[in-house]
Amino acid sequence: MSHTHGTLEVTIVEGRHLKDEDIVGKNDAYVELYVDKHYKQRTTTAQNSNDPRWNEKFTFHLQKHDDDLHLHVYDDDVVGRDSVGSAKIDLKKHVFGKGRYDDWVKLPAMLGLRSKGEIHVIIEHHTLNLAHGHIGDGEAQHIANALENNTIFTKMNFNFNQIGALGAQHLSNVLRDSKTLHTLNLRSNQIGTSGAQYLANALRMNTDTKLTILDLDCNEIGAEGAKYLADLLSNNKTLTTINIGNNQIGDLGAEYLSDALQKNKTLTTLNLFKNQIGVSGANHLAIALENNTTLKTLELEGNQIETLGAQHFANALRKNTTLEILDIRSNGICKDGVQYLADALQVHTKLTDLRLNRQTRGMDSTTYQQT
C-alpha cells in the first residue's frame, strides 16, 4: 500500500532577520525542504529582503523512516547561491501524534557569526482515510501488515467498507501495539461479535494505548459484543467517546454497559442510537447515571424506552450532577414522560440539552435547553 504513513503538508510562511555568511546587504532568499533527499522542493525567491514572506505550501507522502523535515535557506546570487542556514525538525517529537506544528525555527549560528535568523513553519500531518474503499478482510490484512509498528498515524478511518470479523482481527494487531492512534472509525462494516471481541482484547492488552475515540456504529456486534466492550470500559482510562449505535445490543447489552459505566472514570460520550433498548435497558442505564460522574453525553434516539423509561431517567437526573446532553428522541414517550423529565430539570441544573422532538406522544415537544 502506498503512502502508508500519511501525508505531510508543510507551509513555509515567512522569515525574519535572515543573514547570509557575508552579512552584507539584503537577501534574495528561498527555502529548500525535504523529508527524503531524493525528492526536494523549494519556495520561490523573495527578492531583496531579510524578512521575506512566502506563504507557500508543499506536500510530502511519507514512507517508513521519514522522521525528519530538513530545511535549507539560501541567498540566490547571480553566479550561484550562498547558504543562509539550515535546520531540522524532528517529526516524531513535534508532529506525529500531535497532528499540527506551528512555530518559528531558528537557523543555528556558526561560531564567530551572528544568528542566521529564523523561519516560520506550519506542518500538518494527515491521517489514513480509507472510507468507501471497497475494503474486505483480505485488504484489511494487507493494510494491517503495512501498518505494523505504526508510530505516525493518529486517526484511521475505515467507514463504509466490507470488513468482517477476520479483518477486525488483523486491525486489532495494529491497535494492540499502537502508541499514537487516538481515533479508530469502523462505522458501517460487518465486524460482528467476534470483531468487537478482537478489538476490545487488543485495547486491553495495550497498556500504552492513546485511543480516545472508537466508532463501531452499524457493525452487528449484538449484546455479546457490547459485553466485550463493557469489560474493556470497566478498566480503560483513555477512551472518551464510543459510538455503538445500530448494533442491536438490546436490554441485555445496555445492562452490560450500565455495569461498566459505574466503574469507568473517563468516558464522556456514549452513543446507543437505534439499539432496540426498552424500558429494562433504560432502567439499567438510569441506575448507571446515578453513580457515574464523568459521562456528559448519552444518545438514545430511536429506541423503545417509552414513558416508564423516561421516568427512570428523570429519577436519575435528580441525583446525577455531570450529564449535559440527553437525546431520547423517537422513543414513544408520552406527555407524562416529558413532564417527569421537565420536573427533574428543576433539580438537575447541569443538563443543558434534552432532546425530545421526534414522536413524543400527546404534545408538540421540542428540544429543551437550559442556560
Give me the percent of the chain exceeding a pLDDT of 70: 90
- The pLDDT of residue 143 is 92
Averaged pLDDT for residues 190-206: 98
Which tens digit of pLDDT belongs to each residue from 118-146? 999 999 887 888 999 999 999 999 999 98
Region 276-291: mean pLDDT is 98
Q: Which residue has the cell 513535534?
A: 94
SS3 306: helix
Bridge partner list, 297: 269, 325
Cα-based torsion angle of the residue sequence 191, 193, 195, 198 in order, rounded to the nearest 10 degrees: 170
Mean pLDDT value across residues 299-309: 98
Mean pLDDT of the residues in the chain: 90
Parallel/antiparallel/unpaired status of strands 39-42 and 213-215: unpaired
Element (H, E) at 34: strand 29-36
What pLDDT is attached to residue 24? 60
- The answer to whether the beta carbons of residues 266 and 237 sit under 8 Å apart is yes
Q: What is the residue-wise DSSP string for 202-244?
A: HHHH-TT----EEE--SS--HHHHHHHHHHHHTT-SS--EEE-
Q: Which amino acid is at 127?
A: T
The per-residue pLDDT for 2 is 37
Q: What cell numbers appear for 126 in the block?
A: 494527515
Confidence band for 114, pLDDT divided at 50, 70 and 90: low
Between CA 222 and CA 226 the distance in angstroms is 6
Domains of the chain in start order, with CATH, are 7-125 (2.60.40.150), 128-369 (3.80.10.10)
- Bridge partners for 240 per DSSP: none
**Where residue 33 falls among pLDDT bands split at 50, 70, 90?**
very high
- The pLDDT value recorded for residue 5 is 63
13-27 pLDDT tens trace: 999 999 865 556 788
Q: How confident is the model over 216-221, as a mean pLDDT? A: 99
> Which ranges in the chain belong to alpha helices (H)?
91-94, 137-146, 165-177, 192-205, 222-233, 250-261, 279-291, 306-317, 335-345
- Residue 113 confidence (pLDDT) above 60: no
CA torsion, ordered 285, 291, 294, 295, to nearest 10 deg: 10
Is pLDDT above 50 for 347?
yes
First to last CA, the chain: 51
Would you say 362 and 332 are in contact if contact means Cβ atoms under 8 Å apart? no
Nearest residue to 96 via CA among 64, 137, 134: 64
- Please name which of 269, 132, 268 lies closest in space to residue 189, comparing C-alpha atoms: 132
Residues 186-195 as b/e (b if ≥16 CB within 10 A, e otherwise) read: bbbbbbbbbb
- Residue 17, C-alpha cell as written in the block: 532577520
pTM: 0.74
Q: Does the CA dihedral 125-131-134-137 come out positive or negative?
A: positive
- SS3 state at 357: coil
